[in-house]
Amino acid sequence: MTERFFDQKQPIKYRKGKSKGLAYRWYDPDREVLGKRMEDQLRFAVCYWHSFVWPGTDPFGGDSFMRPWHGSGDPMDLARHKADVAFEMFRLLGVPFFTFHDRDIAPEGDSLAESNRNVREIGELFARKMETAKVRLLWGTANLFSNRRFMAGAATNPDPEVFAYAAAQVKNVLELTHELGGANYVLWGGREGYETILNTDIKRELDQLGRFLTMVVEHKHKIGFKGTILIEPKPKEPTVHQYDFDVGTIYGMLKAFDLEKQVKINIEQNHAILAGHTFEHELALASALGILGSIDINRGDYLLGWDTDQFAMNVPEMALACYYVFRGGGLGTGGFNFDAKIRRQSIDPDDLLEAHVGSMDACARGLLIAEKIINDGVLDEKVADRYAGWDKKEGRAILAGKRSLDDLSKRVLSKGIDPQPRSGRQEHLERLINSYI
């Protein structure tokens, strides 16, 4: 890198109380929270695509950022320049992880062989930089949606040669992720769905998708990759009907192909909203099903119907999210990945730093609030009390399969059971949560 990109020169640190300059106010990496350092609990990651690849376009306007690597020149030189800036940002933020798609880090060539060589060359550059850097790889993934060959999907494409091409592309990135010490590998089916049922064989496409996922898991074991395979749900954009709609849909698919113990889920807040759920619902459901793997942390605009990918700044939302993540034991190999875009008008390079610092602080505050809720135990007690009957003899017998419909009918009729509803106390619990904030 021949010129400085950021005005910020020194790494951003935690500073207690008010102070001048850019600093973390709540994110203190070494502070112990729920038995671990805050950095080890949150495992923050910077994503390559929105932070360095996205040029600031929207459906009605072009490039507003004008980054040096978005200009003309040798594509690989521009990719190396981009990598220099990326690792400088990792250093300034002090984040422990980063994430990438193959098409983010290196240009596509005239053939898959050339594309793979480009990715490998930048991967080697990453490896050299990581020798002296703090940052490590949270996960890698292959872009199976941008090129026109994937307009009808990758794994679910009606052409088996497209399926094979996608498999070869994933093999390269999975192996590179392994070689770089990645903690996970993500599959995001950007076009794994359909636009019209008139030209679609759903059963066939689901079988293809199941086979593709199985092949990825098989290759993971073949090469000795110890990381977690993750799927990211997305209900909309670009296809009308996505096979990876939400946590429940993906869990059903994993069960159908005997993969529920091999694959976990990477949940994005904005995608949860687009699916008609809350973020905390998707987190709690994945945790309950044992498939919560990692998080893409952002937020959506509740007035817009598309994936705005804004930086997460809503502290009460983050508190509930952290509560449902950490009451279940945390994320394991996963982390909080900033799959988020600065706004199109935020054109100064240091706006990238401001956005990450602000969102890291919001998440840190959310974690500290969640710690209070978990340690206090009042919310858990109130929920447990609501289901207390199921922990008694008769409730346990029903769940253990020791009661039939006849048994239950006879018991209700003979004892004249006439249960009355109890208050769910929603407003009381909402007031309780606000008391921690």
Phi and psi based region of residue 330 (left: phi greater than 0; alpha: psi -120 to 50; beta: remaining):
left
Residue 294 pairs with which residues in a beta bridge?
Answer: 266
Label the pairing between strands 193-194 and 241-242: antiparallel
Write out the two tokens for 136. 């490590």
58 in catalytic set: no
Selecting among 28, 50, 81, 101, the annotated active-site residue is: 101
Separation of alpha carbons 373 and 396, rounded Å:
28
| Cα-based distances in Å from 73 to 52, 205, 224 | 17, 41, 39
**Per-position DSSP letters for 307-350, written without gaps between them:** ---BPP--HHHHHHHHHHHHTTT--TT--EEE--B--TT--STH
With b for 16 or more beta-carbon neighbours within 10 A and e for fewer, the 81-98 pattern comes to: bbbbbbbbbbbbbbbbbb
Distance of alpha carbon 141 from alpha carbon 48, whole angstroms: 11
In 10 A of CB 149, how many CB atoms? 14
Side chain identity at residue 342, one-letter code = I
For residues 205 and 199, what is the distance between their CA atoms, to the nearest angstrom?
Answer: 12
What are phi and psi for residue 333, nearest 5 degrees? -80, -10
Query: Are 81 and 68 in contact, with CB atoms under 8 Å apart?
Result: yes
3-state DSSP assignment of residue 189: coil
Quickly tell me which residue has 């394991």 as its tokens. 332
Assess whether 221 carries a catalytic annotation. no
Given the residues 102, 104, 244, 361, the one annotated as active site: 104
Q: Is residue 11 reached through a cis peptide bond, with omega within 30 degrees of 0 on the bond before it? A: no
Catalytic residues: 101, 104
